[in-house]
């Protein structure tokens, strides 16, 4: 069998193939969807506004009992395809706090800025590069009152230890990537990996965004899923294309319809200071196309910078070709929290069923918070007892919910609303025929299965 990490034939294709995937005319986003997702999130414990009992803390969010499961599933799905299923990528969990030297070398102290403009009329602050009309304040609608842009550094600075001042300054990382670069030599030495190989990491990043907003799309504290793929310089263009295609496919494989996704290559004047080429995976959010992930060819910028600044050797010596080189880096950098929001939006559907409207999250089973729910038809102990036992048994393998309150129809709707793929109903007949009914979320079809076949039946559908 061909392993997933072998260089595929698509590498031979020209980068222009990517442009074919740009077709912004596709579906029109539902403008009401945004509010529906925010309401559902609050109502069902997916995402709460942070510090709500204190009146909230602007643009920070807490992930509730359902949201924490879903966010974890997004990260697990990413880890599964980026680390678990590949022999050429290993994982890392680097620190969030880091000294100024790292950010000096990476260029973040001088370059990690956004252009800030103030409105002289209403005092609102905006990110100039995100304004629809460059001289119009979107808050008060007055034009010609915006100041000249100033570069605003997005990094959060704090002090380590009890002494303030020079030498005690530390930064909260604004991306996880630098942790991989400064550990390149450690990881390469301990794992004996040869380029092409990658280091992957998932974790919190912090940016003092000028205009956080759109729910969890842009927050000051968020989670990233990043991978730095170190390659021989001559192979960088092919690997760049490979990762663009592979990452786009990941979203499709996990349930986002192709007509709501595109790959947008950056214009030259958009490129970051380190980039030799960048493409964004964009999703059609209710406000229009916006970024989910950036895939960049970072050249040898990062390793060269850290090698110079730290006096470290960050090269690779190829024993076969007798060549010494600084690897180039291809970086797919995604946001876990932003991706979760896109999955929620793509999965949300309101469907007419007889006289009723059912809200259903048609989530991919790997992303769904609960995989299965056990619902005894009655609270009576002769049903609730064995049904609880079944739920306990299934919980050893999958996140399994248990619900015995209200009518069964209402309970199905509650599970539909949080995307549970399967509900197992334990009824009075179960006591006689030792079988249960399994109801599928999307089709609402029901099948009767012997109790001792339930695990296998679910495994076939949930574990592939
Ligand atoms: P943007 O242009 O939206 O500010 P970026 O290009 O600066 O994003 P990257 O530095 O490429 O973002 O970060 C990689 C990914 O991390 C983004 O594609 C996004 O999914 C996520 N991300 C970046 N900033 C934020 C944020 N403030 N809140 C939530 N997710 C974020």
Q: Report the pLDDT averaged over residues 117-146.
A: 93
Say how far apart CA 178 and CA 302 lie, in whole Å.
Answer: 8
Report the pLDDT value the prediction gives residue 3, as an integer from 0 to 100: 33
Task: Check pocket membership of 293 for ligand 1, CB cut-off 6 A.
Answer: yes
Measured in degrees and rounded to the nearest 5, phi and psi for residue 328 equal -85, 160
| Å from CA of 335 to ligand 1 middle | 6
Report the pLDDT value the prediction gives residue 115, as an integer from 0 to 100: 92
Atom 2 of ligand 1: nearest residue by CA position: 291
Report the residue among 200, 256, 294, 296 best suited for mutation to probe ligand 1: largest number of ligand atoms under 8 A from its CB: 294
Say how far apart CA 152 and CA 157 lie, in whole Å.
Answer: 13
- State pLDDT tens for residues 276-299: 999 999 999 999 999 999 999 999
Measured from the Cα of 207, ligand 1's closest atom is 27
Measured from the Cα of 220, ligand 1's closest atom is 27
Lowest mean pLDDT among 110-119, 306-315, 417-426: 110-119
In words, the CATH class of domain 370-462 is: alpha beta
* Rg (the chain; Cα; Å): 25
**Mean of the per-residue pLDDT values of the chain:** 92
Report the pLDDT value the prediction gives residue 457, as an integer from 0 to 100: 98
Measured from the Cα of 333, ligand 1's closest atom is 14
Task: Check pocket membership of 207 for ligand 1, CB cut-off 6 A.
Answer: yes
Q: Report the pLDDT averaged over residues 332-356.
A: 96
Report the pLDDT value the prediction gives residue 5, as an integer from 0 to 100: 32
**Has residue 322 got a pLDDT over 70?**
yes
pLDDT cut 70: percent of the chain above it: 94
CB under 8 Å to 145, separation ≥6 — which residues? Answer: 119, 120, 121, 137
- State pLDDT tens for residues 255-282: 999 999 999 999 988 888 888 999 999 9
8 Å CB contact between 20 and 14 = no
Return the domain boundaries, the chain: 9-101+160-345, 113-153, 370-462
**Has residue 17 got a pLDDT over 70?**
no
Q: Report the pLDDT averaged over residues 352-357.
A: 91
**Has residue 29 got a pLDDT over 90?**
no
Exposed / middle / buried, residue 13 (Cβ in 10 Å: 0-12, 13-18, 19+): middle
Report the pLDDT value the prediction gives residue 269, as an integer from 0 to 100: 87
Chain centroid to CA 210: how far?
21
27: pLDDT confidence band, cut at 50, 70 and 90? low
What is the sign, positive or negative, of the torsion defined by CA atoms of 43, 45, 51, 57? negative
Q: Report the pLDDT averaged over residues 71-76.
A: 98
Atom 22 of ligand 1: nearest residue by CA position: 335
Task: Let me know if the fold of 9-101+160-345 is the same as that of 370-462.
Answer: no
Instruction: State which fold the 9-101+160-345 domain adopts.
Output: BirA Bifunctional Protein; domain 2 (3.30.930)
| Å from CA of 150 to ligand 1 middle | 20
pLDDT cut 90: percent of the chain above it: 86
Sheet strands (E) in 5-72: 47-49, 61-63
Report the pLDDT value the prediction gives residue 132, as an integer from 0 to 100: 87
Assigned token pair, 128: 């100039």
Task: Check pocket membership of 209 for ligand 1, CB cut-off 6 A.
Answer: yes
| Å from CA of 106 to ligand 1 middle | 17
Report the pLDDT value the prediction gives residue 20, as an integer from 0 to 100: 35
**Has residue 454 got a pLDDT over 70?**
yes
Report the residue among 155, 213, 221, 291 best suited for mutation to probe ligand 1: largest number of ligand atoms under 8 A from its CB: 291
| Bridge partners, 169 (sequence order) | 159
Measured in degrees and rounded to the nearest 5, phi and psi for residue 146 equal -85, 140
Q: Report the pLDDT averaged over residues 300-321.
A: 96
Atom 3 of ligand 1: nearest residue by CA position: 291
**Has residue 413 got a pLDDT over 70?**
yes
109: pLDDT confidence band, cut at 50, 70 and 90? very high
Distances (CA, A) of 20 to 24, 189, 295, 392: 11, 40, 17, 49
Task: Check pocket membership of 219 for ligand 1, CB cut-off 6 A.
Answer: yes
**Has residue 337 got a pLDDT over 70?**
yes
Q: Give CATH for domain 113-153.
A: 2.20.28
Task: Check pocket membership of 222 for ligand 1, CB cut-off 6 A.
Answer: yes
Measured from the Cα of 290, ligand 1's closest atom is 3
């Amino acid at each position: 069998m061909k392993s997933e990490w072998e260089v595929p034939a698509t590498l031979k294709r020209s980068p222009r193939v990517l442009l074919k995937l740009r077709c912004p005319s596709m579906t029109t986003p539902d403008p009401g969807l945004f509010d529906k997702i925010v309401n559902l999130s609050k109502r069902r414990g997916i995402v709460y506004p942070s510090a709500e009992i204190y009146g909230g803390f602007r643009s920070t969010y807490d992930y509730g009992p359902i949201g924490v499961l879903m966010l974890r599933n997004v990260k697990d799905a990413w880890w599964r395809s980026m680390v678990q299923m590949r022999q050429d990528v290993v994982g890392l969990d680097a620190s969030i706090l880091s000294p100024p030297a790292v950010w000096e070398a990476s260029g973040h102290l001088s370059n990690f800025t956004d252009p800030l403009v103030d409105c002289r009329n209403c005092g609102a602050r905006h990110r100039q590069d995100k304004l629809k009309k460059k001289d119009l304040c979107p808050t008060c609608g007055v034009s010609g009152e915006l100041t000249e842009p100033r570069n605003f550094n997005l990094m959060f600075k704090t002090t380590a230890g009890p002494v303030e001042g020079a030498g005690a300054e530390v930064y909260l990382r604004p991306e996880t990537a630098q942790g991989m670069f400064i550990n390149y030599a450690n990881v390469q030495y301990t794992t004996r990996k040869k380029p092409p190989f990658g280091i992957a990491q998932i974790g919190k990043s912090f940016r003092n965004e000028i205009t956080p907003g759109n729910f969890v799309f842009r927050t000051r504290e968020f989670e990233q899923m990043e991978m730095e793929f170190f390659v021989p310089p001559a192979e960088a263009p092919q690997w760049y294309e490979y990762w663009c295609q592979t990452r786009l496919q990941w979203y499709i494989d996990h349930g986002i319809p192709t007509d709501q996704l595109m790959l947008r290559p950056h214009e030259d004047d958009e490129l970051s200071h380190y980039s030799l080429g960048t493409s964004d995976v964009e999703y059609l959010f209710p406000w229009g196309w916006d970024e989910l992930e950036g895939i960049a060819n970072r050249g040898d910028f990062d390793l060269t910078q850290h090698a110079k600044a730290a006096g470290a050797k960050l090269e690779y010596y190829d024993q076969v070709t007798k060549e010494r080189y600084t690897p180039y880096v291809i970086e797919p950098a995604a946001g876990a929290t932003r991706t979760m929001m896109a999955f929620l939006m793509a999965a949300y559907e309101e469907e007419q069923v007889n006289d009723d409207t059912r809200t259903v999250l048609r989530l991919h089973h790997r992303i769904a918070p609960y995989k299965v729910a056990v619902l005894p038809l009655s609270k009576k102990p002769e049903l609730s007892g064995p049904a609880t036992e079944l739920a306990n048994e299934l919980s050893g393998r999958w996140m399994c919910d248990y619900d015995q309150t209200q009518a069964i129809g209402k309970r199905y709707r509650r599970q539909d609303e949080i995307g549970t793929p399967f509900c197992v109903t334990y009824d009075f007949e179960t006591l006689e025929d030792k079988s249960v009914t399994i109801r599928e979320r999307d089709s609402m079809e029901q099948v009767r299965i012997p109790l001792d076949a339930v695990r296998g039946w679910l495994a076939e559908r949930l574990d592939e």
